Amino acid sequence: MDNKNLIPIDKLCGVYEIPRSFIDSLCSYELVEVIDMNDERYIPQDHIKDIEKMMRLHFDLEINFEGLDVIEHLLERIEELEREVNYLKNKLALYENDNFR
């Protein structure tokens, strides 16, 4: 992974004013990817949006880490089901178009 796309955890925690333990807990629940490199821990830049979502759920709505884990897995499952529905709709549309010719 390109170093330019990695954000040091300490910098992230400083910018968002969150405790490092929050990121450590997200990592322990495998809700965020942490990369260890050169005695420093980093977060991929494309995970920032997910971390912001987890911050809102945890700090604003007071959802614990077990709840965050459940919510994340449910959202992933919903996305999978939406992709499957779209695939099946497209397949059905092809089938219907073939029958009308």
| pLDDT tens figures, 6-26 | 999 999 999 999 999 999 999
CA distance readout (Å), 22 to 4, 8, 55, 81: 23, 14, 9, 30
**pLDDT confidence band for 4 (50 / 70 / 90):** confident
Eight-class DSSP state of 58: I
Q: What percent of the chain has pLDDT over 70?
A: 94
Would you say 32 and 45 are in contact if contact means Cβ atoms under 8 Å apart? no
Predicted pLDDT of residue 91:
92
The pLDDT of residue 101 is: 57
Range of the domain at 8: 3-99
For the chain, the domain total comes to: 1
* DSSP class of 57: I
Mean pLDDT of the region 44-53: 94
Amino acid at position 43, single letter: I
CATH code where residue 89 lies: 1.10.1660.10
Average pLDDT of the chain to the nearest whole number? 92
Spatial separation of the C-alpha atoms in residues 76 and 71, rounded to whole Å = 9
